[in-house]
Structure 1
C-alpha cells in the first residue's frame, strides 16, 4: 500500500489529466450504457410478457375441449346435445361443463357468414374442462348417445401458438444476453482507450510506487459511476415506453395480451438490469486495465 498522501496525488494526477469522461449522463460512455440498458429493459419485458402468455396458454389448453353436435336435423341435434351434456356431467373426469347458447354460436360466425336464417344449421357446442387423461373416456361415453359429436381439443390448435410464443420468449432472453456481451465489449474498448491516453501518467504513478490495483481502482470507479448513471437513465426511458405500451394493451381488452403487462415480480427483475450493467462495466474495466498494466511492465 502506498501512503495516503501519495494516494491523493494519484487521484489528482488522473483527475487533472481528465482521460475519462466526467461522471455525468452526457458522457459518451454513459450514453452507450443508457442505450444498452434501454434495449435490455424492452427485450426483458417482452420476454417476461411472452413467458406469462405461454403460461396462460398452458392453463387454457389443459383439459379444455369443445364438443360439437353437427347433426343436420334440428330435432336430432337438440336431442343429441341434451344427451351428450347429461352424459358428460356424470363423468368423474369432467371438471366443468357449459352449453354454449345458440345465439352465441350465431354471433361467433356472424363476422364471416353474416346474419344467418333458419335454413343453415349451426352445430350445438358444449365447452368441457377435463382432468388429465379424460379425453378417451369422453369419446367412449359420447359414441352411443351422440353419434354426430365431434371433439375439438384446444391443445390441437393452440399448441403451435404456444410453441411460437415460447420460442419468442427464449429469443428475447438471448437478446438480453447478447446486449450484455456487447456492453462488456464496449467497456473493454473504452478502458483500453482511456489507459492509452493516460499511458504517460500511469508510468509516472508506477515510479511513485502505485500498484496496478490502485491505478485500476481509480479507473473503475469512474466507469462504474458512468455505467450506473447511464443505466438509471436507460431504465427510466424503458419503463416510460413500457407504461405507454401497457395503456395500449389495456385498451385492446384482450385476456391473452393482458398477460404481457409486467407484474410486480417482473418489474423487480427488470430493476436489476441497470445494476447488472454497472457491475458488468466495473468488472470489465477492472479486468481489462489490470491485463494491460501487466503488459506495460
Structure 2
C-alpha cells in the first residue's frame, strides 16, 4: 500500500481526515459488522464439522418390539467385525424421554417400549454390509445412521453458514459503493486544488495517488478500529460459551479462524484502495 506514503507537501495538499471524517467511521462500522458476521459463519461451519465428525461412524439398531429381540440383535452386532461398540439404551432412559412428550401418565401407561442399540463402526467400514447382517439376523430391526437423524440440523447449519458468507459479500459491496461516493465527494471538495494542479501540468495519476493515499489511511484506520471493537465483542461471546465448548470438545473459533478475521481489515483497506483508484480515474476522465 505505497499510496499511504507521501511527502509533507502532498499531505498538505490533500490531508487525511483521520478518525474525525465520515470515511473512517463508515469503514469502522462496515468492518465491525463484517468481522462479527464472518465470525458467526466460521463458528457455524466449525460446529457443523464437529457434529458431522461426531456421528460419522455412529449408528443405531431400532426394534419396535424390542424386549424380545434385543438380545439377538446385540449378539448379532457383536459378531460383525466392523462394529467396535455395542451398547443398548436403557429402557428407563427411553421411558424418561417418553415422559417428556406424554407427561407423567406415560410411566403409568402400559406402552410397548422399543429397543435402541447404539453401535460404532470402524472408520472406512462398509455400513451397508453391517446393515444387511443385522436386518437378516433380526427381522424387523432397522439399522439407521445417526447422521440421517441429524441431517436437518446439518442442513440448517450449512444454510446459515452460506447466509453469513452472502452477508459478508453484500456488506463488502455496500462498502465499495460507499467508497465510490466518498471518492467523488473528495474530488468535489478539492476541485480548486485539482484545477490548479492540472494548470501546472499535473497528470491524473499524480492526483489519484494523493486521493487514494487519503482514502487508504482512512480505510485502514477505520478498519482497525472496527475490527478491534468486533474482536472485543467476539471474545466476550466466546468466553461465555464455555458450556458449548465442553459439549463439542472444541472452541467455536480456533487460531486459524482468528488469523482470518485479523486479515479482514487489511483486505477491506485494499478493497477500498482499488475501488477508490478506479472511481477517481473515471471521475477525472469525465471532467475532461
Give the TM-score normalised by the residue count of structure 2: 0.85
Query: Relative to 1, partners in 2 of residues 1:117 and 1:253: Cα closer, same or farther, differing over 3 Å?
Result: farther
Match of 2:81 in 1: 92
Query: Relative to 1, partners in 2 of residues 1:122 and 1:295: Cα closer, same or farther, differing over 3 Å?
Result: same
Q: Conserved in 2, the CA contact under 8 Å of 1:10 and 1:205?
A: no
Q: Secondary structure of the residue that 1:81 maps to in structure 2?
A: helix
Question: For 1:246 and 1:113, how far apart are their aligned partners in 2?
Answer: 37
2:273 is equivalent to residue 270 of structure 1? no
Q: Secondary structure of the residue that 2:65 maps to in structure 1?
A: coil
- Cα RMSD for the two superposed structures: 2.6
Question: For 1:143 and 1:220, how far apart are their aligned partners in 2?
Answer: 70
Question: For 2:86 and 2:51, how far apart are their aligned partners in 1?
Answer: 20
Structure 1 gaps of 5+ residues are: 1-6, 16-20
Match of 1:3 in 2: none
Tell which deviates more after alignment, 202-211 or 229-238.
202-211
Q: Secondary structure of the residue that 1:67 maps to in structure 2?
A: strand
Give the Å deviation of 1:265.
0.6
1:88-237 to 2 correspondence within 5 Å? 88-114=77-103, 116=107, 119-130=110-121, 134-143=126-135, 145-237=137-229
2:39 is equivalent to residue 48 of structure 1? no
Question: For 1:126 and 1:181, how far apart are their aligned partners in 2?
Answer: 52
Match of 2:70 in 1: 81
Give the Å deviation of 1:22.
1.3
Give the Å deviation of 1:222.
1.3
Question: For 2:196 and 2:97, how far apart are their aligned partners in 1?
Answer: 81
Match of 2:4 in 1: none
Question: For 1:9 and 1:264, how far apart are their aligned partners in 2?
Answer: 43
Give the Å deviation of 1:240.
1.9
Give the Å deviation of 1:259.
6.2
Question: For 1:156 and 1:236, how far apart are their aligned partners in 2?
Answer: 41
Question: For 2:188 and 2:88, how far apart are their aligned partners in 1?
Answer: 76
Q: Secondary structure of the residue that 1:261 maps to in structure 2?
A: coil
Give the Å deviation of 1:289.
1.5
Question: For 1:46 and 1:9, how far apart are their aligned partners in 2?
Answer: 45
1:139-188 Cα offsets, whole Å, 9 max, x none, are 43234543343333323322222122112211111111111111111011
Query: Relative to 1, partners in 2 of residues 1:141 and 1:8: Cα closer, same or farther, differing over 3 Å?
Result: closer
Question: For 1:282 and 1:251, how far apart are their aligned partners in 2?
Answer: 42
Match of 2:18 in 1: 23
Query: Relative to 1, partners in 2 of residues 1:14 and 1:150: Cα closer, same or farther, differing over 3 Å?
Result: closer
Query: Relative to 1, partners in 2 of residues 1:133 and 1:264: Cα closer, same or farther, differing over 3 Å?
Result: same
Query: Relative to 1, partners in 2 of residues 1:71 and 1:211: Cα closer, same or farther, differing over 3 Å?
Result: same
1:77-99 Cα offsets, whole Å, 9 max, x none, are xxx32221121122133243223
Give the Å deviation of 1:213.
1.7
Give the Å deviation of 1:226.
1.0
Question: For 1:8 and 1:66, how far apart are their aligned partners in 2?
Answer: 73
Give the Å deviation of 1:225.
1.1
Question: For 1:209 and 1:67, how far apart are their aligned partners in 2?
Answer: 83
Give the Å deviation of 1:239.
1.6
- The count of aligned residue pairs is 279
